[in-house]
Structure 1
Amino acid sequence: METYKDHITLSPDMNEERLNKLRELFPDWFTQEGYLDINEVKKAVNPNSVEETERYEFRWFGKSAAKRNAFTPTRATLHYDEKRSVNAETTENIIIEGENLEVLKVLTSSYRNKVKCIYIDPPYNTGEDFLYNDDFSESKKSYWEHTEVKEEGITLDTNSDSDGRFHSNWLDDMYSRLLVARTLLRPDGVIFISMDDHEIHHLRKVCDEVFGEENFLVNIIWEKRQTRSNNSKLFGTNTEHIVCYRRSQEIIDIKEPRTDSANALYSNPDNDPRGLWTSILYTNPALREERPNLCYTITNPFTGEEIEHPTNAWKYEYNTYLQHVSENRLWWGQDGRNKYPRLKKFLSDMEGGMVPTNIWKSEDAGTTDKATTELESLIGRGIFPFPKPAQLVQKAISYIINKEEDKDCIVLDFFAGSGTTGHAVMNQNMKDGGHRKFILVQIPQLTDENSNARRAGFKTISEITIARNKAVVEKYQKESEGKIIDENYKQQLDQLGFKVFTLSKSSFPRTDFTPDPTKNEEENLALFQEYIKEKERQLIIAFNEEEVVTEILIKQGFMLTYKLEKQPRFTQNTVYWATDGEKEAYITVDANLNDETVEYFMQHTDKKFICIERALDTTKKFNLKEKMQEKFYAFYR
């Protein structure tokens, strides 16, 4: 059924999608009017007592509102900023300046189930940190009013520890953003979240709910500094947490590269033709009575002695033991007289790397001091407090994205800060020849008027994000000057850079239309159509062609890496061919379509065609729809 929503640009309405899925699976849960009957849901959950409401759950003030906010669609869009982009023609990296919840909602149109890895370093809620007040949607006080025409940036709220909602405020922010971010992850995707001790216990509970307890992978302890802090009153804090969850139970490969010290544990005392090996225990920690199926007699081939362990079971089933014997994998010592055997593990079997540990030492993952020095070398001294080292994020990326087929994936950071994640992705690509892409999101939060950042000319944090990554690109380009480089390295250099987008108000003023909650869909559609006519009577709205094209392509699910090519065959209208590698379409935003243009698409119905609805009269619109079916899309403006 046609509704007013078919004619305005919105990100996907995930609440509606979830209701539609419920309606598809359980139609009996809905009334004849189409509304969800909550009592029917309660009966399905507990048919014996619909009054029973107590259960184990993690709740705080504002949780329900935060969840509603997460799944409410946005009417915002993204505008391309060519002036601040770097190597835009060859790169597929993206930096987005804007409030991250609204940006994440916009990204759901194009990037749902496409992000392999998310790394975020959100505010730590120490009583001084800035908080997103989530008052940026069009239905509330406008985000664009906060930005003051993008020149002054946004002043965010602080979360004072004297505030009665100190923890709730922080949880509201994290909960809504993680709910949306989860929809962007691939089934085999993972998320890393840096956190200190203040909210780590709350973060784990929120993530258990968003991703599922069964998808918790690890709480990594990162040694962020090696020296003791003299400012601490009681205990110095030398570590931080990095919590890691996966999107689903789909198998993922997590390995770290092997080290010389790890390989040094392997030798070949018996000159085994399979090469270097080490050995592990063959006995099981479980007692015999606990695992009777793993209790059997084995034979020492050197002494002929038959052996059973007096207290413990063996580690493997009997058939597996026989296979180990046939493959000469049991080690009985140099003279063959060990009391119990050990199992050989060959270095050649360890080519996939090593299973990582949950302790990341500073020499492997960097320190806060190193991160500060690193940033200073790129954009100046004292510009951004407490940045994360690129080495830390690079380590996480190398664990999760180590297979060749994954080295062409997307890495997202929606608390971009100084832009460490972009720096790390570029470093790792240059190191191993990968083609990973990053998407960074940072709100244009104002820098302090008396800060080094402001004195250096940075009015907002997002300007720092962009400047840092631009400096990284220039650094690699400068290092290659005068050197002989092969084609592969040239391709690596070409992919350095980023396209900048800004979160913006929709180019379609009719998205300001608000439906009447007391009326049904048919009545609201009539109201919407009357609203359109009134707008059309008032004025013919001038618009920026590039901004409109971008907004429509995003709405149609195109990724931000799309390319536009003007089509010379159309002499009466400006028509572009748009493609992002997956989706493709012809698009025009001309106010009137010539007969010649219309006739072409009447004859060529194999490719999608997008145009403005009012560019066609009723007959042309009907004929195109009849001929092209789902390949034709006319948007209202």
Structure 2
Amino acid sequence: MIETRLTGETPDLAQDNIEKLKELFPDIVTDGKIDFDKLKQDLGDYVDDSAERYNFSWNGKGQALRLAQTPSTGTLRPCKEESKDWDTTENLYIEGDNLEVLKLLQKSYHNMVKMIYIDPPYNTGKDFVYPDNFKDSIENYKSITGQTDSEGKNISNNSETSGRYHTDWLNMMYPRLRLARNLLTDDGVIFISIDENEVDNLKKLCNEVLGEDNFIGQITALCNPKGRSQDKYIANCHDYLVIYSKISLAKGDLSIGKNDDEIDSDYNLEDENGLFRELELRNTHREFGKHNRPNLYYPFYVSEMGDISFSKNEKYKNIVFPNWEDGFEGCWTWGLEKANSEKNLLVAKHVRGRWKIYRKAYANIDGEGPLKQMKSIWTDKKYHTEKGQSIFNDLFNTKDKIFQAPKSIDLIIDCIKMSQLKSGIVLDFFSGSATAAHAVMQLNAVDEGNRKFIMVQLPEPTDKNSEAAKAGYDNICEIGKERIRRAGEKIKEEKGLLAQNLDIGFKVLKLDTSNIRKWHPKGNDLEASLLDAINNYVVGRTELDIVYEIMLKFGLDLTYSVEEFIIEAKKVYSIGFGVLMICLDNDITTSIAKGILEKVQALAPETTRVVFKDNGFKTDSNKTNIKEILKCGGIDEFITL
């Protein structure tokens, strides 16, 4: 049985990277430290040690990297009263600085998020951008959101006159993208909305963080057909979607299903097997032909009635090669063996005086509908910002712009479809009005999917003269949460029985400093410091706060069920049906441990950790005996805090 002392910090990502290097190159470790000269030797020709080489750099990059690797001392405190369907939902709404939140999610959601969509500040000079505090990110967060008194908030516009126009934006995005990458599944995809101000820098940034080979594409989305009248020279009508995968994906991995209208238009023929269309078997790309695909160059033999054979005789005397009208020797798209096995799908037609070979392509194969690649330009009205604003305003029964220019839910729905996500997590850590959450619920209601969302948003205060403030919304998070509530209820009402099992709830969690008290002795009053330290927790925190911090630190899904039960007047929490058992009471005796063990055996989880307060045991001998009881009972880890 492992014995662990829990602290209030997240994993040290820099140390984790060092350990990974040591596993790959054990000879580079000298006196417990990395010998970088030896590492260079091990890498051989892959090391570029020349002074001049292509490099994307800016002032503060190194500090931004260290910020991503610095452990967080924060936690996420549950807020039941602002949540919806707390006991059953698998969705999360997290209030806080997304940098710290991403750090806190590293263990619980590492390699767990299938799709990320973000709409970060575009750096137009009017965006909400604030400088990260490299010394105390949590206190900085609380200061700028008005949770603590400050001489002056760091909330500011990032104007071009600041002298650090692009630098500040890059320093904000770099650590967040690095942390976000860790959360993506191996086949995960990230979609980032951006405009021309930072699209070039964003791609360079993503090339470094996600890999240039993993660039999927850049989509131009028409969002404002009227154009922005305030632009200096050209009225901009579009935004971009920059798309990267975590690893290289296969061709067609981001294709989506065709809709009914597209199927009816494209598949205009029908036989006993269903709707189909005829596609020319000859490869229509002239870069492929007999010269480089000789195995795809062979003849068919066709009768006067259009029957097909692979051998010539009196009936099948019309020879057909994949040649072009000008004599270019092309090639087929199928090899001879496949053509033989799929002969029933081949059709010969006499077109403009010559025979051509076609193949039947059915709309439905093994229950799967036809797919299409999304194009690089999206012009449909459903993507317009005006449509997004209209849907938002309808939800809030207002003509006032409580939230300015929310994204179209259809844009995000199509991004989700491209990610091939039917059951898994969608993350948006610049969630704004929570359009992504709305899109997830809407798509689940349409295709009976089981997607979950994690929304992360800084509770940016609304301007006191804004329509949002007049409507009673003090910060952006209040708008986002209310949108999810309203959108979920509307979807359920519209879909009726089809949406009766739809998850429209969300657990609210709020970023704060750790619940576990730090040792800060006061030199002038050491006795008072010692008395304070007897209580393990920060004043004002609840046991549920501590339970969720423990879940975070041990990497448990934050939507796991949390059940409470009593053993000899002591409250015990069971998380994930016995995966984690927590008792934070005082005067713990061996009988409590035996009761916990009985509960674990009844639940029968694969592994179990048990957590107590370090000063919660009745005596030191009780602690020793409890450890032995749990060890003999098969408990995997004994934790104190």
TM-score, normalization by structure 2 = 0.85
Return the alpha-carbon distance in structure 2 between the equivalents of residues 169 and 121 of structure 1.
17
Comparing 12-21 and 140-149, the one that deviates more: 140-149
Aligned partner of 1:460 among 467, 471, 475: 475
Q: Which amino acid aligns with 2:21?
A: L
Query: Which residue is equivalent to 1:342?
Result: 358
Query: Which residue is equivalent to 2:234?
Result: 235
Query: For 1:110, what is the secondary structure of its paired residue?
Result: coil
Q: 1:317 to 1:560 in 2, by over 3 A?
A: closer
**How far apart are 1:561 and its partner, in Å?**
1.0
Alignment check: 8 A CA contact 1:300 1:332 kept: no
Query: Which residue is equivalent to 2:413?
Result: 394
Q: 1:537 to 1:205 in 2, by over 3 A?
A: closer
User: In the alignment, does 2:279 pair up with 1:279?
Assistant: yes
User: In the alignment, does 2:530 pair up with 1:491?
Assistant: no
Q: Which amino acid aligns with 2:18?
A: L
Return the alpha-carbon distance in structure 2 between the equivalents of residues 268 and 605 of structure 1.
61
Comparing 586-595 and 66-75, the one that deviates more: 586-595
Alignment check: 8 A CA contact 1:391 1:424 kept: yes
Q: Which amino acid aligns with 1:633?
A: F
**How far apart are 1:19 and its partner, in Å?**
0.5
Listed as ranges, the matches of 1:392-471 within 5 Å are: 392-401=411-420, 406-471=421-486
Listed as ranges, the matches of 1:475-514 within 5 Å are: 475-476=490-491, 485-486=496-497, 489-492=499-502, 495-510=503-518
Alignment check: 8 A CA contact 1:624 1:632 kept: no
Return the alpha-carbon distance in structure 2 between the equivalents of residues 133 and 423 of structure 1.
30
Aligned partner of 2:579 among 576, 579, 584: 584
Alignment check: 8 A CA contact 1:625 1:632 kept: no
Return the alpha-carbon distance in structure 1 between the equivalents of residues 203 and 228 of structure 2.
27
Superposed CA deviations along residues 255-311 of structure 1, whole A, max 9, x for unmatched, are: 233342343233449x68665222135045126574152464413312623344332
**How far apart are 1:207 and its partner, in Å?**
1.1
Q: 1:344 to 1:282 in 2, by over 3 A?
A: farther
Q: 1:154 to 1:435 in 2, by over 3 A?
A: farther
Query: For 2:82, what is the secondary structure of its paired residue?
Result: strand
- Sequence identity, in percent? 31
Comparing 246-255 and 365-374, the one that deviates more: 246-255
Alignment check: 8 A CA contact 1:193 1:242 kept: yes
Return the alpha-carbon distance in structure 1 between the equivalents of residues 115 and 62 of structure 2.
27
Return the alpha-carbon distance in structure 2 between the equivalents of residues 511 and 339 of structure 1.
87
Query: For 1:285, what is the secondary structure of its paired residue?
Result: coil
Return the alpha-carbon distance in structure 1 between the equivalents of residues 294 and 45 of structure 2.
42
Query: For 1:77, what is the secondary structure of its paired residue?
Result: strand
Superposed CA deviations along residues 151-185 of structure 1, whole A, max 9, x for unmatched, are: 99975232111233211211111111111011111
Query: Which residue is equivalent to 1:56?
Result: 54
Alignment check: 8 A CA contact 2:363 2:369 kept: no
Superposed CA deviations along residues 582-629 of structure 1, whole A, max 9, x for unmatched, are: x72221111331331034457777643211121124333333434545
Query: Which residue is equivalent to 2:637?
Result: 632
Superposed CA deviations along residues 449-503 of structure 1, whole A, max 9, x for unmatched, are: 22111222222111211121122134345557xxxx54x53212xx212111110
Q: 1:49 to 1:547 in 2, by over 3 A?
A: closer
Return the alpha-carbon distance in structure 2 between the equivalents of residues 512 and 345 of structure 1.
72
Alignment check: 8 A CA contact 2:143 2:153 kept: no
Query: Which residue is equivalent to 1:611?
Result: 612
Return the alpha-carbon distance in structure 2 between the equivalents of residues 505 and 218 of structure 1.
39
Return the alpha-carbon distance in structure 1 between the equivalents of residues 244 and 499 of structure 2.
34
Query: For 1:162, what is the secondary structure of its paired residue?
Result: helix
Query: Which residue is equivalent to 2:243?
Result: 244
Alignment check: 8 A CA contact 1:598 1:620 kept: no
Q: 1:139 to 1:328 in 2, by over 3 A?
A: closer
Alignment check: 8 A CA contact 1:572 1:597 kept: no
Return the alpha-carbon distance in structure 2 between the equivalents of residues 472 and 457 of structure 1.
19
Return the alpha-carbon distance in structure 1 between the equivalents of residues 411 and 46 of structure 2.
52
Aligned partner of 2:145 among 147, 164, 173: 147
Return the alpha-carbon distance in structure 2 between the equivalents of residues 539 and 203 of structure 1.
49
Alignment check: 8 A CA contact 1:9 1:511 kept: no
**How far apart are 1:435 and its partner, in Å?**
2.2
Alignment check: 8 A CA contact 2:388 2:409 kept: yes
Superposed CA deviations along residues 325-378 of structure 1, whole A, max 9, x for unmatched, are: x61444331579634433432323493432232345443643111111221222
Query: Which residue is equivalent to 1:520?
Result: none
Superposed CA deviations along residues 305-329 of structure 1, whole A, max 9, x for unmatched, are: 33443323303464346426x6144
Q: Which amino acid aligns with 1:149?
A: Q
Q: Which amino acid aligns with 1:348?
A: N
Q: Which amino acid aligns with 2:506?
A: F
**How far apart are 1:512 and its partner, in Å?**
7.0
Return the alpha-carbon distance in structure 2 between the equivalents of residues 40 and 612 of structure 1.
45
Q: Which amino acid aligns with 1:489?
A: A
Return the alpha-carbon distance in structure 2 between the equivalents of residues 433 and 538 of structure 1.
52
Return the alpha-carbon distance in structure 2 between the equivalents of residues 473 and 317 of structure 1.
48
**How far apart are 1:633 and its partner, in Å?**
2.8
**How far apart are 1:80 and its partner, in Å?**
0.9
Q: 1:138 to 1:227 in 2, by over 3 A?
A: closer
Unaligned runs of 5+ in 2: 305-316, 602-607
Q: 1:412 to 1:604 in 2, by over 3 A?
A: closer
Return the alpha-carbon distance in structure 2 between the equivalents of residues 424 and 78 of structure 1.
25
User: In the alignment, does 2:252 pair up with 1:254?
Assistant: no
Query: For 1:633, what is the secondary structure of its paired residue?
Result: strand
User: In the alignment, does 2:77 pair up with 1:76?
Assistant: no
Q: 1:199 to 1:511 in 2, by over 3 A?
A: farther
Corresponding residue pairs, total: 600
Return the alpha-carbon distance in structure 1 between the equivalents of residues 300 and 48 of structure 2.
63
Return the alpha-carbon distance in structure 2 between the equivalents of residues 378 and 115 of structure 1.
28
TM-score, normalization by structure 1 = 0.85
Query: For 1:313, what is the secondary structure of its paired residue?
Result: coil
User: In the alignment, does 2:590 pair up with 1:595?
Assistant: yes
Return the alpha-carbon distance in structure 1 between the equivalents of residues 294 and 530 of structure 2.
79
Aligned partner of 2:375 among 355, 358, 373: 358
Return the alpha-carbon distance in structure 2 between the equivalents of residues 193 and 151 of structure 1.
34
Q: 1:576 to 1:272 in 2, by over 3 A?
A: closer
Q: 1:59 to 1:231 in 2, by over 3 A?
A: closer
Return the alpha-carbon distance in structure 2 between the equivalents of residues 554 and 532 of structure 1.
33
Q: 1:7 to 1:235 in 2, by over 3 A?
A: same
Query: Which residue is equivalent to 1:125?
Result: 123
Superposed CA deviations along residues 209-261 of structure 1, whole A, max 9, x for unmatched, are: 11112222221221213334554453222221111111223664632333423
Return the alpha-carbon distance in structure 2 between the equivalents of residues 557 and 114 of structure 1.
11
Comparing 305-314 and 535-544, the one that deviates more: 535-544
Superposed CA deviations along residues 417-456 of structure 1, whole A, max 9, x for unmatched, are: 1111111111111222222111111101122222111222
Query: Which residue is equivalent to 1:525?
Result: none
Superposed CA deviations along residues 123-143 of structure 1, whole A, max 9, x for unmatched, are: 001122121311276368543
Q: 1:407 to 1:592 in 2, by over 3 A?
A: farther
**How far apart are 1:39 and its partner, in Å?**
1.4
Comparing 388-397 and 289-298, the one that deviates more: 289-298
Query: Which residue is equivalent to 2:385?
Result: 368
Q: Which amino acid aligns with 2:465?
A: N
